[in-house]
Chains A and B, each alone.
Chain A
Amino acid sequence: MSEKSPPTESELVDFVRSIDVPAPPELHRRIEAMVAAGAPAGARHQRRLRFSVTGALAAAVVAVALVLATSGGGSSTLTLHTAVALTQRPATMPAPSEGADGDETLAAHVEGVAFPYWEDRGWRATGERVDRAGGRTVTTVFYHGPRGQWVGYAIVAGTPPPSVSGGHVITRGDVPYRFTVTNGVKVMTWLRNGRLCVVAGHGVSNATLLSLATGAGRRADAA
């Protein structure tokens, strides 16, 4: 527009009002998943709202806290705090099915990096969610272990990958696995085909996280 004659205010208004750029299809898909996942919970809460003002206020506080804790401020920087917080949110989609190739992967992947199939090791995929934070898409698959443990396995899209610092590093097969505690949760980060992977676990040891990621130990490490 600036390369042409300067716009008058009425031309500017006409132009702004004529813009019909649609939202990206992936954003549509995420919003539809959120609506599908959120509507039943909302309906349940609505019934409680009629009888419990205290409950409604508590829910509002929790909702605001959740937004503050996980939004990353809407800034263009993705923090480890935010990435881990996303793995603590509930799934919004069903678990991906087992991959067709029989190569111990699920059908879900991020830019060619597939999520692992761990069911033969006692860890079943139970759900999935996709988020957008810091200008990146973060896809998380949730796995539940044989004794009630669970992990959120997130793959951050985009290369070059974000860099992570802090914690301590254990190297297996030339791959450095970094362990930190973020938001009170044990977290392991590493790279797969140049994409950052973040696994946050509940009720699991660092050794279990490592053995799951490296494929060592098979079923015995599910404990």
Chain B
Amino acid sequence: MRTLDPQSLTKHVDRLYRAAWALCGSREDAEDLVQETFARVLARPRLLQGDDELYYLMRVLRNTFLTSLRTASRRPVKGAVIEDVVAADPRPTSRPEQAYEVQEVYQAISQLPDNFRMALVAVDVLGLSYKEAARALRVRESTVTTRVFRARKQVAAGLTGEPAQREQVLETRREGTGASGVSYSEENPP
């Protein structure tokens, strides 16, 4: 057990940003999500088990993301609302083709059911081991394995766009739909 050193967190900003982007599907929302995640983490001292804080950041990122979804769904529209206008992204990129592909893939990931999306982001985007991802998401390691396996299939099929695979995607999504953190009945990889 050790206390989280806030100074050590800054080295994870890039990876956390990519994870947030894949969760949200939008760079602007990803920036907000990363900032709120750090605000939560820094709000008070944190005790960690183990050496790597990345799994802990993933856990807070997940919780912040889910809270934001719930809050957004509950928020009524009031009179004094600033109607946001999406501004064009001013950031240029030296490799526009890759930027397009990254956006395309992250967009596909963001369309996954919550549980599949979290697992894929934790393992493939953030680079956690299955064991660390299981700790971050508070599920069994075998559950993470199953979800990552199916999430990859869905994303690949979604990018391919073939009808037969789309049907499989829909079928898998039905199986994966549900509140985050709730384990499925099928826990073993196919």
- Interface of A toward B, CB cutoff 8 Å: 1-2, 6-9, 12-13, 15-17, 19-24, 27-28, 30-32, 34-35, 38-39, 42-43, 45-46, 49, 56, 59-60, 63-64, 66-68, 71-81, 83, 131-136, 156, 158-160, 162-167, 180, 182, 196
Contacts and interface: CB of A to CB of B under 8 A. Distances in A.
Report the contact-size class of chain B (Cβ under 8 Å from the partner). Answer: 35 or more
Given A23-B13, A134-B32, A158 B68 contact: no
A63 B43 contact: yes
Given A7-B156, A164-B82, A167-B80, A1 B105 contact: yes
A38 B29 contact: no
Of A19, A59, A182, chain B has the most CB atoms within 10 Å of the CB of A19
A114 B33 CA distance: 28
Contacts of B99: 21
Interface in B122-152: 124-125, 127, 152
Interface stretch (B85-93, B110-118, B167-175, B181-189): B85-93
A39 B45 CA distance: 9
Contacts of B9: 31, 35
Contacts of B104: 1-2
A71 B68 contact: yes
Interface of B: 3, 6-7, 9-10, 13-14, 16-18, 21, 24, 26-29, 31-36, 38-40, 42-45, 64-65, 67-69, 71-72, 75, 78-87, 91, 99, 101-102, 104-105, 109, 124-125, 127, 152-153, 155-156, 159-162
A153 B72 CA distance: 26
B80 A80 contact: yes
A169 to B, nearest CB: 13
Contacts of A160: 85
A9 B152 contact: yes
Contacts of B44: 42, 45, 49, 56, 59-60, 63
Contact of B84 (A6, A21, A76, A180): A76
A46 B3 contact: yes
A122 B27 CA distance: 41
Given A27-B34, A136-B84, A166-B80, 19 more contacts: A12-B155, A13-B124, A13-B152, A23-B13, A24-B31, A35-B6, A38-B42, A39-B7, A42-B45, A67-B64, A71-B32, A74-B24, A74-B32, A75-B68, A76-B26, A134-B32, A156-B82, A163-B82, A166-B79
Contacts of B65: 74
B124 A73 contact: no
State the 5 A-B residue pairs at the shortest beta-carbon distance, nearest first: A74-B68, A63-B43, A162-B82, A135-B28, A23-B17
